[in-house]
Structure 1
Amino acid sequence: MAATLLSSHCSLSSFSLSLVRPRNCHVAVLCSASPKSPLSTVTQNEKKKSFSLKKCAISLALAIGLVTITPSIDSPSYALTNWPALPDVSVLISGPPIKDPGALLRYALPINNKAIREVQKPLEDITESLKVAGVRALDSVERNVRQASRALNQGKDLILAGVAESKKEEGKDLLEKISAGLDDLQKIVEDRNRDAVAPKQKELLQYVGSVEEDMIDRFPYEVPEEYSMMPLLKGRATVDMKVKIKDNPNLQETVFRIVLDGYNAPVTAGNFLDLVERHFYDGMEIQRADGFVVQTGDPEGPAEGFVDPSTGKTRTIPLEVMAVGDTAPVYGETLEELGRYKAQTRLPFNAFGTMAMAREEFDNNSASSQVFWLLKESELTPSNANILDGRYAVFGYVVENEDFLADLKVGDVIESIQVVNGIENLTNPSYKIVG
Structure 2
Amino acid sequence: MSSFICPHYFPSICSSKHALTNNPTTLFQVGLPNFRRKSQFTRLSPRCLFEIPRQVDPLDEKKKRSFSMKECTISIALAVGLIVGAPALNWQSEAQAFTTPTLPDLAVLISGPPIKDPEALLRYGLPINNKAIREVQKPLEDITESLKVAGVKALDSVERNLKQASRAFKNGKTVIVSGLAESKKEHGMEFLAKLETGMDELQQIVEDRNRNGVAAKQRELLRYVGSVEEDMVDGFPYEVPEEYQSMPLLKGRAVVEMKVKVKDNPNLEDCLFRIVLDGYNAPVTAGNFVDLVKRHFYDGMEIQRADGFVVQTGDPEGPAEGFIDPSTEKPRTIPLEIMVEGEKVPFYGATLEELGLYKAQTKLPFNAFGTMAMAREEFENNSGSSQIFWLLKESELTPSNANILDGRYSVFGYVTENEDYLADLKVGDVIESMQVVSGVENLVNPSYKIAG
Q: Normalising by the residue count of structure 2, what TM-score does the alignment of the two structures yield? A: 0.83
Q: 1:42 and 2:54 equivalent?
A: no
Q: 1:66 and 2:78 equivalent?
A: yes
Quote how far apart the aligned CAs of 1:51 are: 6.5
Quote how far apart the aligned CAs of 1:382 are: 2.9
Distance 1:345 1:326 in 2: 10
Contact 1:163/1:215 (CA < 8 Å) preserved in 2?
A: yes
1:271 counterpart letter in structure 2: N
Contact 2:253/2:442 (CA < 8 Å) preserved in 1?
A: yes
Q: Which residue of 1 aligns with 2:326?
A: 309
Contact 1:219/1:235 (CA < 8 Å) preserved in 2?
A: yes
SS of residue in 1 equivalent to 2:319: coil
Quote how far apart the aligned CAs of 1:278 are: 0.4
Contact 2:335/2:383 (CA < 8 Å) preserved in 1?
A: yes
Please, which of 216, 223, 229 is the counterpart of residue 199 of structure 1? Answer: 216
Q: Unaligned stretches of 5+ in structure 1?
A: 1-5, 11-16, 24-29, 75-91
Greater Cα radius of gyration, structure 1 or 2: 2
Residues 350, 360 of structure 1: alpha-carbon distance in 2 compared, 3 angstrom cutoff: same
Quote how far apart the aligned CAs of 1:311 are: 1.0
Contact 2:10/2:309 (CA < 8 Å) preserved in 1?
A: no
Residues 426, 337 of structure 1: alpha-carbon distance in 2 compared, 3 angstrom cutoff: same
Q: Which residue of 1 aligns with 2:47?
A: 55
Contact 2:324/2:330 (CA < 8 Å) preserved in 1?
A: yes
Deviation string 1:350-369 (CA, Å, 9 cap, x unpaired) is 00000000000100000100
Higher relative contact order (CA 8 A, sep 6+): 1
Q: Over aligned residue pairs, what C-alpha RMSD do you find?
A: 2.6
Q: Which residue of 2 aligns with 1:422?
A: 439
Distance 2:310 2:43 in 1: 9
Q: 1:254 and 2:271 equivalent?
A: yes
Q: Which residue of 1 aligns with 2:307?
A: 290
Distance 1:416 1:332 in 2: 31
Further displaced range: 396-405 or 161-170: 161-170
Distance 1:155 1:73 in 2: 35
Quote how far apart the aligned CAs of 1:217 are: 1.1
Contact 1:38/1:51 (CA < 8 Å) preserved in 2?
A: no
Q: 1:146 and 2:158 equivalent?
A: no
Q: Which residue of 2 aligns with 1:388?
A: 405
Distance 1:19 1:347 in 2: 26
Quote how far apart the aligned CAs of 1:385 are: 2.2
Q: 1:213 and 2:207 equivalent?
A: no
Runs of 4+ in 1 over 6 A off after TM superposition: 57-60
Distance 1:156 1:71 in 2: 38
Distance 1:347 1:50 in 2: 31
Contact 1:50/1:289 (CA < 8 Å) preserved in 2?
A: no
Map 1:82-231; keep pairs closer than 5 Å. Answer: 95-231=112-248
Deviation string 1:157-208 (CA, Å, 9 cap, x unpaired) is 0000000011222222211111111111111001000011011101100110
- Residue correspondences, number: 398
Distance 1:162 1:234 in 2: 20
Residues 31, 200 of structure 1: alpha-carbon distance in 2 compared, 3 angstrom cutoff: farther
Residues 31, 384 of structure 1: alpha-carbon distance in 2 compared, 3 angstrom cutoff: farther
Distance 1:402 1:352 in 2: 7
Residues 216, 133 of structure 1: alpha-carbon distance in 2 compared, 3 angstrom cutoff: same
Quote how far apart the aligned CAs of 1:423 are: 0.3
Q: Which residue of 1 aligns with 2:96?
A: none
Quote how far apart the aligned CAs of 1:44 are: 2.1
SS of residue in 2 equivalent to 1:33: helix
Distance 1:344 1:417 in 2: 31
SS of residue in 2 equivalent to 1:32: helix
Quote how far apart the aligned CAs of 1:272 are: 0.5
Residues 73, 167 of structure 1: alpha-carbon distance in 2 compared, 3 angstrom cutoff: farther
SS of residue in 2 equivalent to 1:146: helix
Q: 1:412 and 2:404 equivalent?
A: no
Q: 1:365 and 2:365 equivalent?
A: no
Contact 1:256/1:401 (CA < 8 Å) preserved in 2?
A: yes
- State the identity %: 71
Distance 1:237 1:425 in 2: 7
Q: Normalising by the residue count of structure 1, what TM-score does the alignment of the two structures yield? A: 0.86
Residues 251, 423 of structure 1: alpha-carbon distance in 2 compared, 3 angstrom cutoff: same
Q: Which residue of 2 aligns with 1:234?
A: 251
Q: Which residue of 2 aligns with 1:86?
A: none
Deviation string 1:118-172 (CA, Å, 9 cap, x unpaired) is 0000000001111111101101000000000000000000000000011222222
Contact 2:10/2:31 (CA < 8 Å) preserved in 1?
A: no
Residues 198, 142 of structure 1: alpha-carbon distance in 2 compared, 3 angstrom cutoff: same
Q: Which residue of 1 aligns with 2:359?
A: 342
2:266 counterpart letter in structure 1: P
Residues 206, 249 of structure 1: alpha-carbon distance in 2 compared, 3 angstrom cutoff: same
Q: 1:327 and 2:356 equivalent?
A: no
Further displaced range: 196-205 or 58-67: 58-67
1:177 counterpart letter in structure 2: K
Residues 35, 129 of structure 1: alpha-carbon distance in 2 compared, 3 angstrom cutoff: closer
Q: Unaligned stretches of 5+ in structure 2?
A: 12-23, 52-65, 81-102
Contact 1:50/1:290 (CA < 8 Å) preserved in 2?
A: no
Quote how far apart the aligned CAs of 1:52 are: 5.2
